[in-house]
């Protein structure tokens, strides 16, 4: 099997409503996607709607309505839940789905934490300890742990994930995919991750960072091949380029305004830093202001940003560049209205995915 034929595709669904979440997950399974990813937020992002369902609750409901597709969070933080509780949620989904759960983990976002009085300090250090605890609860009979942030005494988790540890070559039986883009979090991925899930990198950035992760994995005496290279990407696929371009502009500009460092990397000055999502708060009352300010971003910035947009053949060519850079698992967030989400998923499955399946 060549590089192209080994590529996997996942789709991230909406936060709400349940009917839309369910329908996209069932459609993804029917049309051949490999995984369905549920955003894990207390507060969704939007202009007028900020509703968010509990990610693991939704995934557990999907576990009994699907048969094949992997079920994942994109991604869970380790602040809102004690790591033992997060491990239990992932293990429960794994049991209900007969071994199809994936635990996506990231450092978190202020909007999901600060308004609720949840401390958002030392995010990387806390996340490292949480991952250590989760791994041990998945694999050990009893866990004693004393760290800077967490302490466990003779703790255990039952039921464990469904696959016996002996069959997983000492890896977590619920794979842990780590959302990492900084040098420190990439080292965390190299040491503890079953998968690497950065977001919105260029092919060259992806290739360089994957090389660093694999080098660090060797330093931690891990096989580099044990870490699955994935990539979270914003996508618009349409039957003609102009339709795709019009669709990506408003949502692409809002996304870029919430991540001003990407704008800077592209050689432009962000019109504002007030809407940065990770470490600042964007409340529902700010939605219209966020949209209005994003319109100041030139179209050229979106055109140069590492988004996937265009006709199916254009998308396949762009994905090819990431495959050559080492990526084998694409998690796609379709930047279209809920009204167009189903037909966009179908178009991608029917016109793009066949480029990456065995002939």
Give the 3-state DSSP-derived string for 23-39, with helices as H, strands as E and coil as C: HHHHHHHHHCCCEEEEC
List, for residues 228-273, the tens digit of each pLDDT value: 999 999 999 999 999 999 999 999 999 999 899 999 999 999 999 9
Contact 55, 95 (CB under 8 A): no
Report if residue 186 sits inside a domain: yes
pLDDT at residue number 309: 97
Q: What is d(CA 324, CA 112) in angstroms, rounded to the nearest whole number?
A: 36
Report if residue 192 sits inside a domain: yes
Report if residue 265 sits inside a domain: no
Report if residue 247 sits inside a domain: no
> Picking from 64-68, 160-164, 230-234, which range would have the lowest pLDDT averaged per residue?
160-164
Report if residue 292 sits inside a domain: no
pLDDT at residue number 280: 63
Q: What CA–CA distances, in Å, run from 349 to 8, 20, 59, 314?
A: 12, 18, 22, 14
Structural domain including 214 reads 4-241+307-356
* Residue in 12, 109, 276, 311 annotated catalytic: 109
pLDDT at residue number 233: 97
Q: Which two tokens stand for residue 52?
A: 């968010």
Q: Residue 114: pLDDT band by 50, 70, 90 thresholds? A: confident
Residue 119 scores a pLDDT above 90: no
* Residue in 41, 129, 231, 276 annotated catalytic: 41
- The question of whether 311 is a catalytic residue gets the answer no
pLDDT at residue number 220: 97
Q: Residue 120: pLDDT band by 50, 70, 90 thresholds? A: confident
Report if residue 299 sits inside a domain: no
- The question of whether 41 is a catalytic residue gets the answer yes
Report if residue 288 sits inside a domain: no
Contact 66, 96 (CB under 8 A): no
Residue 3 scores a pLDDT above 80: no
Q: Residue 285: pLDDT band by 50, 70, 90 thresholds? A: low
Contact 296, 270 (CB under 8 A): no
Q: What is d(CA 93, CA 103) in angstroms, rounded to the nearest whole number?
A: 10
The helix (run of H) or strand (run of E) holding residue 248 is helix 241-257
E-strand spans in the chain?
Answer: 8-12, 35-38, 70-73, 101-105, 143-146, 151-155, 176-178, 195-196, 228-237, 308-310, 329-334
What is the chain's mean pLDDT, rounded? Answer: 92
Contact 222, 197 (CB under 8 A): no
- In the chain, the number of structural domains is 1
Q: What CATH number has the domain bearing residue 93? A: 3.20.20.30
Report if residue 302 sits inside a domain: no
pLDDT at residue number 1: 46
């Amino acid at each position: 099997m060549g590089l192209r034929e080994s590529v996997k595709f996942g789709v991230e669904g909406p936060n709400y409503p349940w009917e839309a979440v369910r329908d996209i997950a069932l459609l993804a399974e029917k049309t051949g996607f490999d995984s369905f990813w549920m955003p894990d937020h207390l507060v969704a992002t939007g202009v007028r709607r900020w509703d968010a369902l509990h990610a693991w609750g939704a995934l557990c409901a999907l576990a009994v309505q699907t048969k094949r597709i992997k079920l994942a969070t994109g991604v869970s933080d380790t602040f809102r839940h004690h790591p033992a509780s997060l491990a239990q949620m992932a293990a429960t989904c794994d049991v209900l789905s007969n071994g199809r759960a994936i635990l996506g983990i990231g450092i978190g976002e202020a909007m999901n934490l600060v308004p609720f009085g949840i401390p958002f300090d030392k995010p990387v250090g806390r996340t490292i300890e949480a991952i250590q605890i989760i791994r041990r609860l998945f694999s050990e009979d009893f866990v004693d742990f004393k760290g800077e942030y967490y302490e466990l005494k003779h703790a255990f988790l039952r039921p464990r994930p469904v696959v016996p540890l002996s069959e997983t070559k000492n890896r977590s039986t619920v794979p842990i995919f780590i959302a990492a883009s900084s040098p420190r979090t990439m080292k965390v991925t190299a040491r503890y991750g079953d998968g690497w899930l950065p977001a919105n990198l260029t092919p060259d950035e992806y290739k360089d960072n994957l090389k660093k992760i694999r080098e660090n994995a060797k330093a931690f005496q891990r096989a580099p091949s044990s870490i699955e290279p994935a990539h979270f990407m914003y996508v618009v696929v349409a039957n003609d380029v102009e339709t795709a371009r019009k669709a990506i502009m408003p949502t692409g500009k809002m996304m870029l305004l919430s991540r001003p460092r990407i704008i800077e990397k592209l050689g432009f000055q962000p019109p504002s830093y007030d809407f940065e999502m990770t470490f600042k708060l964007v409340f529902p009352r700010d939605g219209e202001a966020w949209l209005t300010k994003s319109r100041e971003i030139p179209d050229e910035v979106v055109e140069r940003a590492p988004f996937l947009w265009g006709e199916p053949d254009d998308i396949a060519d762009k994905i090819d560049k990431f495959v050559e850079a080492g990526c084998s698992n694409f998690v796609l967030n379709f930047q279209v209205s809920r009204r167009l989400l189903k037909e966009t998923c179908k178009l991608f499955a029917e016109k793009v995915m066949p480029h990456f399946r065995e002939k």
